[in-house]
Amino acid sequence: MVFIYALPCLRFSSRERQLIKKLTDSKALTFPEFLDNFYVRYKYACFKQFYAYLLKYKDIVEFAVYPDYRYDLHLLLKSFSFINWLFPLHKKAELDFVLKHDFTWVAMPYRKAWRDYSFQEFLEITKQYSLKSWILGWWWESYPESLAFIDGFDTTLPEFFAYKCSKIWVSWKQHIESLDPPITKFVRNVVNFHKAVLPYLKKAEIGCF
């Protein structure tokens, strides 16, 4: 049983990426080990930039989000077969493409507006077809137990509260204002968030899910 998570921000400095690896004992992935396709930023998969990063970091990338709605790019899977490809499932009808091209990982967008199925349906699909499950942009503070049912996720929670809200993320739905420098808040948020997900990592390691 695996359980993987990523703190994927492309804008992280080298220092921030190094801190993530150090503070999580290399348990959390970050850019470029985890490579998103910019769909959230641009509302479409920016393939030119995405492909440039694939080439530049091909020896480092471990997980990459397949370009949303780009059914014509399936040859990428063969060209970069050593990468764990996450297929972003927006519609249940896309499952035919997933199965035809032998994806191992299927990813559910966290935002309900970007999919036509429920979390329960997603779990049923992954179980029925023996697919590994990922949640893109996980933000389910009100339901952290959801992590017990999936194989991986990425999130921006630690950076969002540090840099956007000027808050320390203490635990699920617990955030406090802080006058500390942003990088100090970021460090504390990464540490606290890792502690919060650590039980799920440990359960996966011993196969308790």
**∠ CA 22-16-88 to the nearest 5 degrees?**
95
The answer to whether position 136 is within a domain reads yes
- Supply the pLDDT for residue 111: 94
The answer to whether position 55 is within a domain reads yes
- Tell me the two tokens of residue 145: 């137990």
DSSP secondary structure string for all residues of 141-183: TT-GGGGGG-SEEE--HHHIIIIIS-EEEEETTEEEE--S-HH
Q: Identity (one letter) of the amino acid at 108?
A: M
pTM, 2 dp: 0.92
Q: Which CATH number characterizes residue 38's domain?
A: 3.20.20.60
The answer to whether position 188 is within a domain reads no
Structural domain including 40 reads 32-155
- Supply the pLDDT for residue 206: 44
The answer to whether position 202 is within a domain reads no
One pLDDT digit (tens) per residue for the chain, 209 residues = 568 999 988 778 889 999 999 999 999 999 999 999 876 665 656 788 889 999 999 999 999 999 999 999 998 888 999 999 999 999 999 999 999 999 999 999 999 999 999 999 999 999 999 999 999 999 999 999 999 999 999 999 999 999 999 999 999 999 999 999 999 999 999 999 999 999 887 665 544 44
Q: Number of H helices and number of E strands within the chain?
A: 8, 10
Number of structural domains (the chain) is: 1
